[in-house]
């Protein structure tokens, strides 16, 4: 076989990627995500005004000075939407990190060990899972009180069972595969089998759940703040702005509602597209079959 140059391989990879719809899906999703991440990271530089200060008259309709208008307290909606990305993404990432950090190891161990330990853990997780997500998050958030970490924790509790279940079931099926037995025949230790043979085989399913959960977490966070259980008020937050904006829709101030809403929709869409595409890209066997 002829040796290939790196550039040639890269070219093939890219043409592979965009030869199918999957590539475009991932690409557009990634673009949206990068856009919001840039907004979140550089919000002080991008936002035209301080989001918590009164900068104009209350409920100014979108104009040259305030592109997205101002809210009832005269704050710039555009700046608040930009700063809102910060809170939304931060909470989503922290929540998903906690959920995955707890759910994945527990799932791995539970599936691998099996027996009574597995049964008890599965029972607990199923109990958590049986609550409607938002209701459970509301209950926990109400107990913990406002704050970035508290909100993240209450969302994480809702999503931990998802990781646990996905991982546990996969591990339980992968551990009876022949290559796991082969590893045992080689004399591999249990944790080596778990980390080198089982974990890589269940990883693709985590990645998908991960990016889908990010989208879900943003919605849950928005839902919590919409209900007044999120971040304490002056901090810009899409969910809170949404609920604040809807009070003035009857005064024909549609902008306070529309722009945070669009932000939520697009970021969730971006995550969903990205996760969908990632799912197929990361799994070499699925890609090979095409």
**Which stretches of the chain bind other proteins, using CB under 8 A?**
1, 177-179, 181-189, 192, 196-197, 200-201, 203, 284-285, 288
d(CA 259, CA 249): 13
d(CA 137, CA 222): 12
Give the DSSP per-residue string, the chain: -----HHHHHHHHHHHHHHSHHHHHHHHHHHHHHHHHHHHHTHHHH-SS-TTS--S-TTPPS-SSSTT-B-TTS-BHHHHHHHHHHHHHHHHHHHHHHHHHHHHHHHHHHHHH-HHHHHHHHHHHHHHHTS-HHHHHHHHHHHH-SSHHHHHHHHHHHHHHHHHHHHHHHHHHHTTSHHHHHHHHHT--HHHIIIIIIHHHHHHHHHHHHHHHHHHHHHHHHHHHHTT-SS-TTS--HHHHHHHHHTTGGGT-THHHHHHHHHHHHHHHHHHHHHHHHHHHH-HHHHHH-
Question: Which of 196, 247 has the CB closer to other proteins?
Answer: 196
In the complex, least distance from residue 199 CB atom to other proteins, rounded to whole angstroms: 9
In the complex, least distance from residue 98 CB atom to other proteins, rounded to whole angstroms: 26
Which residues face 70 on adjacent strands? 76
In the complex, least distance from residue 127 CB atom to other proteins, rounded to whole angstroms: 24
In the complex, least distance from residue 9 CB atom to other proteins, rounded to whole angstroms: 12
Question: Which of 143, 178 has the CB closer to other proteins?
Answer: 178
In the complex, least distance from residue 290 CB atom to other proteins, rounded to whole angstroms: 13
Question: Which of 121, 278 has the CB closer to other proteins?
Answer: 278
Contact between 235 and 110 under an 8 Å Cβ cutoff? The reply is no
Question: Which of 132, 284 has the CB closer to other proteins?
Answer: 284
In the complex, least distance from residue 272 CB atom to other proteins, rounded to whole angstroms: 26
In the complex, least distance from residue 188 CB atom to other proteins, rounded to whole angstroms: 6
Question: Which of 64, 288 has the CB closer to other proteins?
Answer: 288
Question: Which of 12, 53 has the CB closer to other proteins?
Answer: 12
Question: Which of 4, 247 has the CB closer to other proteins?
Answer: 4
Half-sphere exposure of 157 (CA within 13 A, CB side): 21
Question: Which of 18, 179 has the CB closer to other proteins?
Answer: 179
In the complex, least distance from residue 189 CB atom to other proteins, rounded to whole angstroms: 7
């Amino acid at each position: 076989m002829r040796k290939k140059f790196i550039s040639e391989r890269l070219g093939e990879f890219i043409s592979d990627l965009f030869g199918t719809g999957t590539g475009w899906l991932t690409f557009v999703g990634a673009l949206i995500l990068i856009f919001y991440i840039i907004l979140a990271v550089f919000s002080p530089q991008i936002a035209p005004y301080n989001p918590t200060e009164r900068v104009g008259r209350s409920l100014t309709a979108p104009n040259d000075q305030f592109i997205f208008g101002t809210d009832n307290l005269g704050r710039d909606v555009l700046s608040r939407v930009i700063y809102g990305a910060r809170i939304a993404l931060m909470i989503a990432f922290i929540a998903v990190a906690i959920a995955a950090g707890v759910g994945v190891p527990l799932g791995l161990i539970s599936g691998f060990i099996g027996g009574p330990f597995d049964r008890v853990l599965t029972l607990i997780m199923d109990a958590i899972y049986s609550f409607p997500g938002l209701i459970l998050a509301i209950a926990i958030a109400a107990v913990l009180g406002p704050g970035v970490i508290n909100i993240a924790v209450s969302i994480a509790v809702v999503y931990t069972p998802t990781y646990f279940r996905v991982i546990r079931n996969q591990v339980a099926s992968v551990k009876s595969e022949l290559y796991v037995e082969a590893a045992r025949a080689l004399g591999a230790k249990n944790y080596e089998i778990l980390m080198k043979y089982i974990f890589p085989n269940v990883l693709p399913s985590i990645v998908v759940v991960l990016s889908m959960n990010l989208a879900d977490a943003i919605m849950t966070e928005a839902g919590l703040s919409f209900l007044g259980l999120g971040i304490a008020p002056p901090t810009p937050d899409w969910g809170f702005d949404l609920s604040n904006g809807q009070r003035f829709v009857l005064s024909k101030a549609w902008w306070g509602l529309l722009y945070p809403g669009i932000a939520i929709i697009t970021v969730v869409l971006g995550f969903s597209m990205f996760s969908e595409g990632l799912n197929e890209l990361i799994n070499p066997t699925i890609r090979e079959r095409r």
